Structure 1
């Protein structure tokens, strides 16, 4: 193995962009945000080496059926540090997020292809959620996605375990308009409660646009944000964009008066910038 076993669990503020190959892109980017002073819920990553050890232990590989991942138990040398980290984190509930090494890359983003398991409670459920995330790296939709882009399916995946929030509102914010390509326009989608309602298509989100000092509500069925909150979210999103140096697709949650970051990645397939007149 490339890392000692006592390094298989990496806490949020001990990782950054230099660790993408160790913990996957999602975890590495969240670590970079936390190091940069942004409000990211505490958590820890299981490194890619843990998955590789699991595969070797059970004689599995990239050609194995995804169900084999979910049925094979975690070896004790994996289970013990995972359970210890859960206790140190506070015991749950937690969100368990896949963090692929090739996720959010220039050649293929794999956005929405890998698994996230929410509201995980207890060590047995945590282990099952970790296996479910690993299995998603070999699922049929990932195979098709990779094939369309001329990529090989590779089960190189970390897993990020993060304190579960009970937000008042949540959603996504784009620091450039993903439809028009306008770089001077922040686009916000928001719902009450968990963003899973938005991701699953369960509801139509509130929509806000922010351009300069102009804050405009396009749709407000959920009434999830105030004008001041939308303005603050746009400001936060611009700060994240500056952190990474390119337009970002950001998942966020609002708990009380705290805006918290759950994910940030480059906007994929962003159209070229368009010429715009001054805001009025």
Structure 2
């Protein structure tokens, strides 16, 4: 067991090691101590070995000393996995955290729970996917509880666009758990590396003082210092309490979007898709969108819609040639009209080029594609509306299938129908 502010040659889990390095460098890290994975696994064992009694007494002593330092009996207890907070995988949200733990008995229970969180099915599935090295138990960090006016995360590189010219801050009142768990939509603020405000979004959820760009300057300087000390772009958890910012955690940004130059607009367009997916898109939104599109695709479609779109700088674009090709080789349809007027992609200057590059299909393939498209068009305009009308007319006749008529008392009535 080791104090975070004291140096040790014993290897600590990455989360604990990072906090120790930052605290020893003079940055504001809440005081605390760390149990090694070996010590934590002793308390997680059933039955516990004889050395658990000595370890519990030692933890009690460390806890009393920590309470004297902080002037508060409440602590935060967090698991610290052996592969957590590394460049390969963050394990964000996978391990257990307990906040506002008070008293020795509650502390022992929290430590045991955190140590056992390394065995959860969710974590093991994550580990198998991203970090399938030999499984090892987590250590446990115990720190003085910070009671913030606001808390959140800071990225020294934009996590979606990959742009490292700006720092992104997400903030919410009180505990940052609301952001990390997705319960609240945070305020979002972006700053250039020299501290100049770039965008301030939804800051009305924060106390008045937090809405000014000047307020965030100490946190920005602190984040750049963390990045310098640790040698890579960082995902930082922070809190503001007692008139200052505190560092709660720092990890390397484990996903680096491919930074590309802006798209060649002779090849790509935002027409139509920019109305559906406006602004910068998160990886979750994009992967869900593409998955849904693929589920609705017909294997006979060429090109397929899911193959026509991609992201540039976090924004969605459609391939102009693929859009054109979708409506080419269909009898009775002019691609220039559909793509230009229907979708809103201006092709007046390069229609001849797009036409030259469209695939040449044999007569049989053109026939199949034309039948497929016109069947869909006619069905949408004539068949589907009629079906809807018929179903609407049938509605009153199906009342006997409602919930009140499917209970045991009315089964006889249902059988008569």
When normalised by structure 2's length, the TM-score is: 0.57
Match of 1:247 among 217, 233, 247: 233
Shift >6 Å, 4+ stretches: none
Question: Corresponding residue for 1:265?
Answer: 251
Q: Note closer, same or farther for the CA distance 1:231–1:32 as it changes in structure 2 (3 Å cut).
A: same
Question: Corresponding residue for 2:14?
Answer: 25
Question: Corresponding residue for 1:143?
Answer: 124
Q: CA deviation at 1:255?
A: 1.2
Match of 1:182 among 152, 159, 163: 163
Q: CA deviation at 1:47?
A: 1.2
Q: Note closer, same or farther for the CA distance 1:206–1:127 as it changes in structure 2 (3 Å cut).
A: same
Contact 1:12 1:30 in 2 (8 A): yes
Question: Corresponding residue for 1:197?
Answer: 178
Contact 1:180 1:274 in 2 (8 A): no
CA distance in 2, matches of 1:200, 1:55: 26
Q: Which has the larger radius of gyration?
A: 2
Q: Is residue 214 from structure 1 mapped to residue 196 from structure 2 by the alignment?
A: yes
Q: CA deviation at 1:46?
A: 0.8
Give 1 or 2: higher strand fraction.
Answer: 1
Question: Corresponding residue for 1:80?
Answer: 57
Question: Corresponding residue for 2:343?
Answer: none
Question: Corresponding residue for 1:40?
Answer: 29
Name the stretch that deviates more: 102-111 or 121-130. 102-111
Per chain length, whose mean CA-contact separation is higher, i.e. which structure has more relative contact order (CA < 8 Å, sep 6+)?
Answer: 1
CA distance in 1, matches of 2:219, 2:231: 18
CA distance in 2, matches of 1:127, 1:184: 44
Question: Corresponding residue for 2:376?
Answer: none
Question: Corresponding residue for 1:4?
Answer: none
CA distance in 1, matches of 2:162, 2:51: 45
Contact 2:40 2:140 in 1 (8 A): no
Question: Corresponding residue for 1:11?
Answer: 3
Question: Corresponding residue for 1:223?
Answer: 206
Q: CA deviation at 1:152?
A: 4.5
Q: Which runs of 5+ in 1 are unaligned?
A: 1-8, 60-71
Q: Secondary structure at the match of 1:160?
A: strand
Q: CA deviation at 1:219?
A: 2.0
How many residues are treated as equivalent by the alignment? 253
Q: Which runs of 5+ in 2 are unaligned?
A: 263-417
Q: Note closer, same or farther for the CA distance 1:273–1:82 as it changes in structure 2 (3 Å cut).
A: same
Name the stretch that deviates more: 98-107 or 122-131. 98-107
